[in-house]
Amino acid sequence: MKIVVPLLVAIAASSGTSASGQDSKADQTAVYALEAMLKDGDFEAREDLPTDIVYCGGETTRAEVSRFFSHLSAGIKEGLPAPYFNQFVADRFSVNRDDRFMVFDREDFTSVTPRFFSREDWIRIADKGAPALEDMGWRGCMMDRGKIWISADEKGLRISSINHDMPWLSPD
């Protein structure tokens, strides 16, 4: 049985660069592994497979991830009212605070800001942006080692959890 990969990924592997064009150690390791498998005939490259898919608890696209962070940044920059930020939070979300884990339905509140997410939280999330997301499989993507959890679903990308008991990581 052959594993099918997007053509862009196969081209990147055969050229010795990652599909993203970046040279991180993880990317290079993945490229070398894929290059070896392509040579062994374990993979088949196809043009019709999407390369812009992002997995964050569900499938989304790089465009949706970009839209999420650009709309969040625009809302902050324009000083939009607190209810604007509801769109970035999942219908059901969790909050860790003072060693308590609580789950809420967003529809029960006029605004999740400032009760659950402060303006400073939104600024940090926007400033860190897509590069700070770490794919954690079916659980979603996390930011700052689990301070923020984000998931993708049919409605797009949404924050599913914030842990106020964890500090924000310093910028690199």
pLDDT score at 163? 96
Mean pLDDT of the region 90-109: 92
**What is the pTM assigned to this prediction?**
0.68
Mean pLDDT of the region 40-48: 55
pLDDT score at 145? 92
pLDDT score at 29? 56
81 against 13, higher pLDDT: 81
Phi/psi of residue 111, nearest 5 degrees: -150, 140
* Tokens 């390791």 -> residue: 29
Domain spans of the chain?
Answer: 3-51, 55-163
pLDDT score at 70? 92
| CA angle in degrees (0–180, nearest 5) for 133-138-142 | 20
pLDDT band at 86 (very low <50, low <70, confident <90, very high): very high
Beta strands in the chain (DSSP E): 3-6, 43-46, 53-55, 59-61, 89-97, 100-105, 134-135, 141-143, 148-153, 156-163
| Distance, CA of 50 to CA of 6 (rounded, Å) | 6
Do 38 and 13 meet the contact criterion of CB atoms below 8 Å apart?
Answer: yes
**Lowest-pLDDT range, 37-51, 86-100, 150-164?**
37-51
- Checking if the pLDDT of 95 tops 90, the result is yes
pLDDT score at 41? 59
pLDDT band at 59 (very low <50, low <70, confident <90, very high): confident
pLDDT score at 25? 55
Mean pLDDT of the region 50-77: 84
- According to DSSP, residue 25 is labeled H
Do 43 and 2 meet the contact criterion of CB atoms below 8 Å apart?
Answer: yes
Q: What percentage of the chain exceeds 70 in pLDDT?
A: 69
Mean pLDDT of the region 5-23: 45
6 alpha-carbon distance from chain centroid: 21
